């Protein structure tokens, strides 16, 4: 059997790193990208004895860099069977009127433009792979459920949802599947990035409850990518059992 290869963005932490380990466990070849070369090298050292691993330092916001890395993939890594668009971030958890415009631009450039850059570059390869090839986009429950402080982050994940559905329409007949995976509360470096390193804020968010782990989400990513080729999971919303929705907020006279 020909070894399948997965291309993972944002592989240096969280869902991306956990996904690299899960796909390696199943024998897939790995193309791992991210901005922190030391972490990529650590993963290559950890997993390279199990499966072929190619690493590339990449900022997905740079369209030229994305195109170059895809064009320069070694022969053994050119046949990509699954793309995991994991690179993304949230910033500025305060109210919209209190945020810096630069933080909004960073979220749009990473969560929207970066995902588009990588997808566009790899579409020809995935279409060549044909039946059973997969694009797995990491969305969020924030793309469907509004909450204070979500502003541009939630809007960017709503884009991921609709882009995924639209891709399904365009790719009909190619055999390429598209899934939008939308996690709820998950304990990763996400909140540390969002609060710019505030460890206390991160700890407070998860205190006294049981959030999803990176491994929980990686298992679902692998699941949808390894299904029989006639099955497409369009959207998969995943929340911890201990998380649900709140009621509408109402502004009342004091």
List the catalytic residues. Answer: 153
Give the DSSP letter of residue 78: -
Cβ atoms of 23 and 226 within 8 Å: the answer is no
Measured between alpha carbons, how far is residue 154 from residues 93, 145, 168, 187, 238 in Å?
11, 8, 22, 18, 16
Give the DSSP letter of residue 176: -
Three-state secondary-structure class, residue 247: coil
Give the DSSP letter of residue 38: H
Measured between alpha carbons, how far is residue 253 from residues 38, 134, 250 in Å?
54, 52, 10
- Cβ of 26: how many Cβ atoms within 10 Å? 12
Cβ atoms of 127 and 174 within 8 Å: the answer is yes
Measured between alpha carbons, how far is residue 23 from residues 11, 82, 161, 167, 244 in Å?
12, 10, 24, 24, 30
């Amino acid at each position: 059997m020909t070894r399948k290869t997965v291309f993972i963005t944002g592989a240096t932490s969280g869902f991306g790193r956990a996904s690299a380990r899960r796909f390696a466990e199943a024998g897939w070849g790995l193309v791992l990208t991210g901005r922190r070369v030391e972490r990529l090298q650590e993963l290559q050292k950890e997993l390279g004895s199990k499966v072929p691993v190619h690493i590339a330092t990449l900022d997905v916001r740079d369209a030229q860099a994305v195109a170059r890395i895809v064009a320069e993939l070694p022969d053994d890594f050119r046949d990509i069977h699954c793309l995991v668009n994991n690179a993304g971030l949230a910033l500025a958890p305060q109210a919209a009127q209190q945020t810096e415009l630069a933080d909004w631009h960073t979220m749009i450039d990473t969560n929207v433009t970066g995902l588009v850059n990588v997808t566009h570059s790899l579409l020809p390869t995935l279409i060549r792979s044909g039946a059973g090839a997969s694009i797995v986009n990491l969305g969020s429950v924030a793309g469907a459920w509004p909450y204070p402080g979500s502003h541009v982050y939630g809007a960017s994940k709503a884009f991921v949802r609709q882009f995924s559905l639209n891709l399904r329409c365009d790719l009909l007949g190619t055999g390429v599947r598209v899934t939008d995976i939308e996690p709820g509360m998950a304990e990763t470096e996400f909140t540390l990035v969002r609060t710019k390193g505030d460890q206390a804020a991160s700890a407070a968010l998860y205190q006294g409850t049981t959030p999803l782990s990176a491994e929980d989400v990686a298992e679902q990513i692998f699941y949808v990518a390894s299904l029989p080729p006639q099955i497409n999971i369009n959207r998969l919303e995943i929340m911890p059992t201990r998380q649900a929705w709140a009621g509408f907020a109402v502004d009342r006279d004091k």
